[in-house]
Structure formats: C-alpha cells, structure tokens
Amino acid sequence: MSEQSQPAVTRQLDTRGTYCPRPVIDTDIAMRALAAGEVLEVLADDIGVKLDLPAWCRAHRQRLIAVEEEGRLIRVLIMKVGESA
Amino acid sequence: MSVTPRLKADGSRVQAIGLISGGLDSTLAARVLAEQGVAVLGVNFSTGFCRSDHHRAMGALGKQQDPKRLRNEALRAGADLEIPVRIVDLAEGYLDVILRPRHGYGANMNPCVDCRAYMLRAARAIMAEEGADFVFTGEVLGQRPMSQHLQAMQTIERESGLTGLLLRPLSARLLAPTLPEQRGWVDRDRLMRIQGRTRRLQYQMAAAAGLDDIPNPAGGCCYLTDIVYASRFADLVLNLPADARPTERDILLLKVGRHFRLTPGLKLVVGREEAENNFLTHFFPEGPFLEAPHVSGPLGFVHIQPGAELPTLAQRELMAAIIGRYGKGRADEVLDVEYRHAGAAEMLRVKPLAADAPLDAYRIAQHYDRQAVRWR
C-alpha cells in the first residue's frame, strides 16, 4: 500500500530500544485503548516485530495495514477493526 | 476453524484462559477446546528467563539467526489457531519464586512447581478480569519429572486457587472430572487421555490438524534449567550483600559472555561475538568497558556491585590480560587495552594471558549450593 493511501494514524507507539516481548505487550495494551477504525503506528528496532505483529494481527483479527523498514527502523500500521481479547 | 459456539445454560459463550507457550502440547490443548466451540484467550507469561526472547534480542543486535528463532511461538500458535494470545509481563515478583520455592528446584535453579502455580495464579486473575469460566494448560500427565506427575499437578491446582477450574485437555480423561466437564461447558468425551513422555499421539494430532510448523519441544525455553546459567545465577546471589537482591540488570547480564568473578563485588564479562558486544553496550552503556583498540577482539564489561570498591590497577590489568587472551592480539608480547569509565579512558599495557593460563580461580564453577541460594 502506498504512503498516500494509508489511513491517518490515531496513535503512535515508539518501542525503539526495547526487545521481545515488550513491543508486543505495549502494542496489545495500546490496541485495547483504540476504537474501531482507529490506527496505531508502531515504531520498533526489534526485528522480531516484523514477524510478531503480523501474527498478533492474525490471532487478534485486527487489520495489518503495513510493515515498512528503513534502515534499522521498522514501522507497523495496525487498524482496529473490532474488539479482541 | 468454523465451529458452533459452546454456550452455558444462561446462553453466554463458554470462555477459557489458556497458558500458551506455542509448543506442541499447549497448541493442541487450545485446539481441542476451540474445536468444541469454547472461546479461548491464550496468555503467554514473560518472566525474563526465556531463551527464545534472548535469541530474538541477539538477532536484533546483529547476530545471524534462523528466522524461526526470531518469532514468538505463542503468537504464531495464536495466528495458526485464530485465537487471541496476550503476552503478559510477569517478571515482577518472579524473583521470589526462584529464591523461595516452597517445592524446591528441579535439576538446576528451576522451581517448576512453584513457577506453574505462580503463572496459574496470574491466569486466575485474568480469568476473573475477563469473566472467563476456567483455565487450561497443555500439561500432560507423566511428561515432566518435577511438575507433571499426578501429585505435583494436584499441588499446582490447589496452590493456584483453581481447584476444579483447571482443565488439562490432553490428559483430562485420566484425571478427575473438573467443573467445566461436570457442568457441560466442555465435552469430556472429546478430551484426550494422553500420558507419558513420548509425544507420538500429539504428533499424530498435529499432523491431522495440519499443524506442521510447531517447534521441537525438546530442550525447553527456561534459562533456569541450564547449568551454566543457573551457576551464574547462584554466583550472583551468593556474592551479593546479605540484604541485597539481584536487579533486573544483574539478571540480564547472566545471558551473555564469559563470566569471571574477581571479588564478591567485581565481575568481568567478556563478549563472545559481535552481537554480545552490542548487547553489553546497549544494556550497560555506562560501562566500565575494556577493549583492545588496535586489534579486533572482544569487549569486556566490568560489573561492579553497588557499594563495592572500584577495581584496583592490578585488577584492571588482570582483566585487560583476560581480554587480550580472547582477541587477535593474544600472541602479542605487549597489548594495549583501554579501560573506559565515567567519561575517562586509561590505556593499560599488558601481556595477554596465554591460552593455557589457569583461569579456574575466576571462572564460575558449575556446582553450587542451591539451598544457600534458596533461603537468601
């Protein structure tokens, strides 16, 4: 998905400098606070995030919009589509 | 997986909280219940002693890793089964479980019975928060010598406060019926009767379910079962002042490098590869560090216990000579090793220790008094 077509970010979560499982724990907590249709942007430098957050989205049935990498920076966009445990 | 939701007498859906590691047994246990229409929320507890988490951190710090070692298996299982898995930080309070286990240790510093009870108490709290009906695990009767024999499983159930509400779907038909079975929240006839250490039946179940990407269960994930790590942990605890407790950073340091104990308050940790050097500078940026600037070689981190004396010149030179032993300058007659601390740098000129120089006096012995650790 191109940058132009990405939805507006509702909240940003900067997890840089933390490693598994902290980025996932913080993403989970942040997603629970969002309303349906809102978008979380996660910034990370733990390369495991590239696997974890797509898996988290599948398990929690939330919409993964993008996983982008620029140098060591990983940027993940997730849209909340409904309540998940 | 498309199933008919399983409902209670009041019409609400049956909900269960499951301890999910992402290994074979917990994945299958979750699937057995999900197939019955139970709404499953997986929880995966992080204690800070998980090898997988460390492999992932090392991958992020530059170590080449098999991509499978970088993934979180609990989340992978959740994605495969389409059940939500929540990772929960349980590190705070876990030190008490290790230092004061009511039921003792396994082969090393692993307090398996107390650990399971601790995790299940946390799962019980989540059950209450979520309004769920019971808790389940992937435990198999007779599979692990310390925590999965009948008496231990009963103890764990009792001490977790989950009497009657702890279901082990893989061995359920070998155990007394739980409340979820008695009340019809789950169908006991569709639960399993697996016991023992072989996982033949589990592999058959996994194959039948198309679950072909589950990690090999051998080895486990817990650092406390590892004799090298456990020895370092015991060394850490036994060298602390009587009124001190290990910090999170103290414990983090045990996962990397070669460890040399010089005094109760002074330890040298030598990185074994670039990723470990990166680990040391990332998590312990304040140093002090030792490094030979003109040849490639390891980074040494000097762990000084709060309140302990700073290393003497003789100790700094000894540590520099140890650093020299593991670098490209090991054959040099004289090697420059820089000692960096608090914004200052000191160049030490030392002869690297010979490869056969005795270091046993400083190495951390792989035998220790577990009872002395236990009652600290």
Per residue in B33-46, pLDDT (tens digit) is: 999 999 999 999 99
Give residue B242's pLDDT: 83
pLDDT in tens, A22-80: 999 999 999 999 999 999 999 998 888 999 999 999 999 999 999 999 998 999 999 99
A57 a catalytic residue: no
> DSSP assignment, residue A9?
P
Q: Per-residue pLDDT averaged across B92-118, rounded?
A: 91
Pairing between β-strand B266-270 and β-strand B166-167 as defined by DSSP bridges: unpaired
Delineate the domains of chain B, giving CATH numbers in brackets.
Answer: 15-222 (3.40.50.620), 226-374 (no CATH)
Catalytic hit among A20, A33, A47, A51: A20
A21 touching chain B per CB within 8 A: yes
Q: Omega into B288 within 30° of 0, i.e. cis?
A: yes
Q: Which of B21, B31, B56 to mutate to test the interface with A (most CBs of A within 10 A)?
A: B56
Radius of gyration of chain A from Cα atoms?
12
A25 touching chain B per CB within 8 A: yes
Separation in Å, CA of B333 to nearest CA in chain A: 40
Residue B220 has pLDDT above 80, yes or no: no
A24 contacts in chain B (CB < 8 Å): 72, 75, 87
Beta-bridge partners for B88? B45
Residue B212 has pLDDT above 90, yes or no: no
Q: Which of A16, A19, A29, A84 to mutate to test the interface with B (most CBs of B within 10 A)?
A: A19
Give the residue from chain B lying closest to A59, CA to CA. B79
Please say whether the beta carbons of B206 and B192 come within 8 A. no
pLDDT in tens, B323-332: 999 999 999 9
B83/A58 CB distance under 8 A: no
pLDDT in tens, B332-372: 999 999 999 999 999 999 999 998 888 888 999 887 777 77
DSSP B47-84: -S-BHHHHHHHHHHTT----HHHHS-HHHHHHHHHT--
Query: B218 falls in which pLDDT band (50, 70, 90)?
Result: very low
A28 contacts in chain B (CB < 8 Å): 86-87
Q: Per-residue pLDDT averaged across B200-227, rounded?
A: 83
B56/A20 CB distance under 8 A: yes
Residue B18 has pLDDT above 70, yes or no: yes
Please say whether the beta carbons of B49 and B220 come within 8 A. no
Lowest average pLDDT, out of A80-84, B74-78, B248-252, B320-324, goes to A80-84
Give residue B9's pLDDT: 93
Q: Per-residue pLDDT averaged across B68-78, rounded?
A: 86
Separation in Å, CA of A40 to nearest CA in chain B: 17
B133 contacts in chain A (CB < 8 Å): none
Residue B109 has pLDDT above 50, yes or no: yes
For residue B278 the two structure tokens come to 């990166």
Q: What is the three-class DSSP state of B270?
A: strand
Percent of chain B with pLDDT strictly greater than 90: 72
> DSSP assignment, residue B244?
-
Residue B219 has pLDDT above 60, yes or no: no
Give the HSE-up count for residue B83: Cα atoms under 13 Å, Cβ half-sphere. 33
Report d(CA B368, CA B358) in Å as an integer: 21
Give ipTM to 2 decimals.
Answer: 0.89
What CATH architecture applies to the domain A3-79?
2-Layer Sandwich (3.30)
